Amino acid sequence: MRVRVPHFDFSGSSAHWLPKAGEFAQLLNANSVVIPHLERFLNKVMAKAASQITGEDAESKRVRSDIRTFIKQESCHYAVHGSFNQMLIRDGYDRLPEIEARIAAHYERLIRTKSLPFLVAYCEGFESLTPPTGEGWFNGSMDRMMRGADPTVLAMWRWHMMEEFEHRTVCHDAFKAIHGGHILRTYGWFYQAASFSRMAGWVYRYLLEVDRQQMTKLEIERSRQNAKRSVMGFASPMVRAAPRILSPGYSPRQIAEPEGWAATRDLIERDYITKSADPAGA
């Protein structure tokens, strides 16, 4: 696990960065709008968790050190998505800040009202879903759809999912150290899945509403079908993985590196990483 500081320049990008699948691009854009709020929340919760894992044994030290690296990786993620999201606002989706205020309020309310074990379970729930979602970015299964995509936006998602895969054990270990109960873990998982889908749905419907202002009736009908297919395609790896994730013996350590993950990491590091920080020395 390493901290990488990438350079992505979105000045030449647009919301319609994926010509073969416009509705799928908007679904990813909707995820991108929620991400900075979610990841700031993850960092606050994980910093609090680290302060409660006080043991001087090797395992506690390792978990605290992993959390420090996790926080740095997530900080890079939300900074990059923040600049991508600014591009969306410039591109004509100027009501996004109103929706973002509602998203920010959700996370503020959680921090204010929920216990630390619940908050860590919520974070662990989100992080458990990034490996199944991420796989398609590495193993070639999305390559056909991504033909003709804006290379900068494509690289952003590949970089982010590659690091999500890399730090997949951190929230799981933190939850085990803080609480570990299966019922709370399951409750946090469903709670976060419902919250994230609801908020990404607000953004997605708005982005599509703006796009459809320029469409004919027939195009709108086609766009509705494409949107439905996009949501099903996006959700299906998570739905398939859910029974395994929710089983009492689940550990993200059981998940092997997907085919193409290391090659994706090497390409991203070659082309987009200007500097990387050694977590041990940071």
User: By Cβ distance, which residue is nearest to Fe ion?
Assistant: 77
Nearest-angstrom CA–CA distance, 10 and 85: 10
Nearest-angstrom CA–CA distance, 280 and 282: 6
Instruction: Give the three-class secondary structure for 148.
Output: coil
Q: Shortest distance, CB of residue 24 to Fe ion, whole angstroms? A: 20
- Long-range Cβ contacts of 38-41 (<8 Å, 24+ apart): 38/107, 38/126, 38/196, 39/74, 39/75, 39/77, 39/78, 39/81, 40/78, 40/107, 41/107, 41/110, 41/111, 41/123
What is the per-residue binding string for Fe ion in 109-148, x denoting contact by CB under 5 A?
Answer: ----------------------------------------
Instruction: Restricting to residues 69-98, name those near Fe ion by CB under 5 A.
Output: 74, 77
Q: Shortest distance, CB of residue 69 to Fe ion, whole angstroms? A: 11
Q: Shortest distance, CB of residue 34 to Fe ion, whole angstroms? A: 11
Residues 115-136 as b or e (16 or more Cβ within 10 Å = b): eebbbbbbbbbbbbbbbbbbbb
Instruction: Restricting to residues 256-275, name those near Fe ion by CB under 5 A.
Output: none
Query: Angle formed by the axes of helices 22-52 and 217-245, to 10°?
Result: 30
Q: How many CA atoms lie within 13 A of 145 on its CB side?
A: 15
- Give the residue with the Cβ less far from Fe ion, 164 or 173: 164
- Output the six-digit token pair for 37: 């709020």
Instruction: Restricting to residues 196-255, name those near Fe ion by CB under 5 A.
Output: none
Contacting range for Fe ion; rule: CB under 5 A; set: 141-149, 161-169, 176-184, 213-221: 161-169
Q: Shortest distance, CB of residue 80 to Fe ion, whole angstroms? A: 9
What is the per-residue binding string for Fe ion in 163-192, x denoting contact by CB under 5 A?
Answer: -x----------------------------
Please name the amino acid found at residue 109.
R
- Give the residue with the Cβ less far from Fe ion, 13 or 128: 128
- Give the residue with the Cβ less far from Fe ion, 28 or 208: 28
Q: Shortest distance, CB of residue 123 to Fe ion, whole angstroms? A: 9
Binding site for Fe ion (CB under 5 A): 74, 77, 164
